[in-house]
Chains A and B, each alone.
Chain A
Amino acid sequence: MELLGFGAEGWGDDLLRGAALTVQLAVVSLAIGLTFGMVLALAKLSRFAPLRWLAQGYTLFIRGVPEFLILLLAFFGTEKAVAAGAALLGLEGGIEVPKFAAAVGGLSAIFAAYGCEVIRGAWLAVPNGQIEAGHSVGLSRWQIFYRIRLPQLWRIALPGLGNLWLVMLKDTSLAAVLAIDELLRVAKVAGEVTRQPLMFLLAAGALYLVLTAISDKLRASFEARANRGMAR
């Protein structure tokens, strides 16, 4: 049991550090994935058909391909893609993409593909009458977006995005296969070194449950905040 403890003898601190890296991976991917998802949602709502098809094709691909495979593609493919992109812009030489960044790239690409559907749905759920009303009282397009659409969009999209967050939190475990020392990999290594794989993998499972439970609480409080002032 002391193997799970903290300090020099135990792996407890290493597991917690792994868990911190897991959260870090998920939070960074959330920020990037949300931004990218917003762009994709706008592309899907665009009047320009090729843009819509592009976004549609992208989501179709990501939704049909295993997350594991997407992460491997991100891991082995990003440098090639970045180098190609740089060449297009007339830049010389490759740019180094560390594996943490590759994992973030893969995870946020997945998040965006699902997130854009949630955002699109929420966008359409804001009644058109409100937008027209905004125009008629002389608000600018930006004001309409910022004052009318965005606050409601947030409220409507929150439950869906919360679910996707939980999915992503669990998907970070795939980074273990890329030798990134997040929670699961630490547990695997600890299990191999100490020859106690069951104990360490169970400990990792328990930590994931804690992370999910905290996320649930946070989501509930966010939703309560976003819904304040709404009639029930």
Chain B
Amino acid sequence: MSLYQDLKYAISDGVCYAAQGVTPEGFATYCPRYIDGFLVTLELLLLSSALGLSIGTLVAVARVSRQRALRVGAWAWSYIFRGTPLLVQLWIVYYGLGSLGPEKLGILWPFFKSGWAVGLAVLTINTSAYIAEILRGGIGTLPPGQLEAALSCGMSRGMAMRRILLPQAFRVAWPAYGNELILLMKGSALVSTITVMDLMGQTRSVFARGYSLETYMYSAVLYALLALLLTAGLRAVEKRLRVA
């Protein structure tokens, strides 16, 4: 863990050293802090999007299941996490559940203790609810004949889902997924309210030192850059999906 931490610091020192000459002074002074935070944001984004995609897929499958309980559960999952603000969810888990303390939470305490872990979990759950809706929409666009055909070939429902429906649903849903990824990145800034030193957390600390509006502008540029990179990456994948 500490090796990984050192690696992150080394990256951010390296980036700042390289960028020294070309960045404005107000940024260069605090550059390692911005980049340290940027890396935490990136880390949370990568982990929560990957985990969120997996959970979201399961929820989407549950939503079209033949089991009523599964359908209702998956519907409630999406409804609750899409119907309430992310900030409320973060505070409920960190300040609300966390206030129960180590005695009541027992073995769960190490999780609730860490702002980072709570942030990651809530971001993951939140994005999974949106991804499930997107995928369900994608499955809905497929002609019902496909499932019937797959079943009549002797495929099980699960297999038909895995081999026939989901791959197509992913392709249909890709642009919407891209939007969700950007929204997730922006939402991740809220973990700064539960003590995580992501880009936003570092930005607010730097802001506290001089109250200069510049601070927020630099941070905005970094976020916008990340959004541009993500968009470009998503486009590239989209092209490949279309060819396939």
Contacts and interface: CB of A to CB of B under 8 A. Distances in A.
Do A and B touch each other in the complex, judged by CB within 8 A? Answer: yes
Interface of A: 60-61, 63-70, 72-73, 76-77, 80, 170-174, 176-177, 184, 188, 191, 195, 197-198, 201-202, 204-205, 208-209, 212-213
B95 to A, nearest CB: 5
Contacts of A201: 88, 91-92, 95-96
Given A66-B189, A197-B96, A205-B92, A173 B87 contact: yes
B9 interface: no
Contacts of B217: 73
A191 B186 contact: no
Contacts of B211: 76
A69 B213 contact: no
Contacts of B87: 173-174, 176-177, 184
Contacts of B86: 170
Given A64-B224, A184-B91, A205-B92, A198 B100 contact: yes
B89 A205 contact: yes
Contacts of B141: none
B226 interface: yes
A215 to B, nearest CB: 9
Contacts of A170: 84-86
Contacts of A173: 85, 87-88
19 contacts: A61-B224, A64-B182, A64-B223, A64-B227, A65-B223, A67-B189, A68-B192, A68-B200, A69-B223, A73-B220, A170-B85, A173-B87, A177-B87, A197-B99, A201-B96, A205-B89, A208-B84, A209-B79, A209-B80
10 residue pairs, one from A and one from B, having the closest CB atoms = A64-B227, A64-B224, A66-B189, A198-B96, A173-B85, A170-B85, A212-B83, A66-B186, A201-B96, A201-B92
A64 B219 CA distance: 11
A133 B99 CA distance: 66
A191 B97 CA distance: 12
